[in-house]
Structure 1
Amino acid sequence: MKFTSVIVVLAAVALPAFAEGSVEVTYNTIYDDPNTPLSITACSNGANGLQTKGYDTLGELPSFPYVGGIPGLTWNSPDCGSCWRLSYTDASGTTRTITVTGVDGAWSFNLSLEAMNALTGGIAQEKGTVTATATQVSASLCGM
């Protein structure tokens, strides 16, 4: 009984750590092209795939171009179509927040250039990589 209680407590502490935290954010312009087929992403087909839900290209997603790869997402992942709130505070103390839909796997949050520019105030190419805070939110906030 004590062992079960310990597991429940650890799960309650560990799960929020995965739901929110400091992450690296990069960009890839492939996510800016509305004609990019979802068939080349981790969220292509399968029970959790976005094609299975009727989307064939990135441009068909409600949140486009606020899409990208997210850490830990693999083929047929339940995280396909998940929605993430990213917040970035620049050197002047200005904080910008966007929501993005997870459509692919990546080692960091790898967004469209347009989404990263919205997050950074237009300096995505200058910065290349920024550190932001990520929080998983309801998929409905991304139109899913």
Structure 2
Amino acid sequence: MKFTVFSTLALSLSLTNLALSQQVMTVAFEPLYDNSQLDLLTTACSNGNNGLVTKGYNVAGDLPTFPRIGAAFAVEGWDSVNCGKCFKIKYEPTGIEIPVIAVDHAGAGFNLAKAAMDELTGGRAAEIGRTDMTVTEATPADCGM
């Protein structure tokens, strides 16, 4: 009997953790992040201990997921511990999900390269503008890092 209670409790806790790692957030696009020559020294994730330049990425095009990059709510500011963090973003109407690397600060949600948002929305980024999408924390390997 104790095993069953423990198993139910463990299942409940693991489902709670799963729910916390996935959220619906607002997503928009910012054409600045479409530029493969964007100097990462101009972003919040530039240099410093957690900076992307410090890790050998000098321009946006050096990042493994480019143009699947953008500003994220998780990057609090310069040299954030969340610089380079990988997220999976899914647009429910199309069912398309892509990995995205956080390279800059966003006040809320995400501001992606237009090409990334077009990929998610079937080419409708400019028409949609800003919309809710499902965001899940991902592993660095999911973003090729």
The amino acid across from 1:63 in the alignment is: T
Within 5 A, what are the aligned runs for 1:1-144? 19-73=21-75, 74-90=77-93, 94-107=94-107, 108-144=109-145
Q: Secondary structure at the match of 1:30?
A: helix
Query: Secondary structure, in 3 states, of the residue corresponding to 2:91?
Result: strand
Cα-to-partner distance string for 1:57-84 (whole Å, 9 max, x where unaligned): 0011111100000003021111111110
Q: TM-score, normalised by structure 2?
A: 0.84
Q: Secondary structure at the match of 1:56?
A: coil
Residues 104 and 18 of structure 1: is their aligned pair in 2 closer, same or farther, counting only changes over 3 Å? farther
Report the equivalent of 1:8: none
Distance 1:82 1:133 in 2: 16
For 1:34-55, what per-residue CA distance to the aligned partner results, in whole angstroms no more than 9, with x for missing partners? 0100011010011000010011
State the Cα RMSD in Å. 1.7
Structure 1 consecutive aligned stretches of length 4 or more whose deviation exceeds 3 Å: 12-18
Distance verdict in 2 for CA 1:77–1:96, change over 3 Å = same
What is the distance in 2 between the residues matched to 1:15 and 1:112? 30
1:16 to partner: Cα distance: 5.7
Q: Partners in 1 of 2:60 and 2:92 — Cα distance?
A: 28
**Residues 92 and 134 of structure 2 are in contact (CA less than 8 Å); yes or no, is this contact kept in structure 1?**
no
- For residues 20 and 134 of structure 1, what CA distance do their matches in structure 2 show? 6
The normalised TM-score by structure 1 is: 0.84
> What stretches of structure 2 of length at least 5 have no aligned partner?
1-13
Structure 1 residue 18: Cα displacement = 5.4
Task: Tell which structure's C-alpha radius of gyration is larger.
Answer: 2
What is the Cα deviation at residue 14 of structure 1? Answer: 8.5
Equivalenced residues, count:
130
Separation in 1, partners of 2:66, 2:34: 8
Gaps of 5+ in 1: 1-11
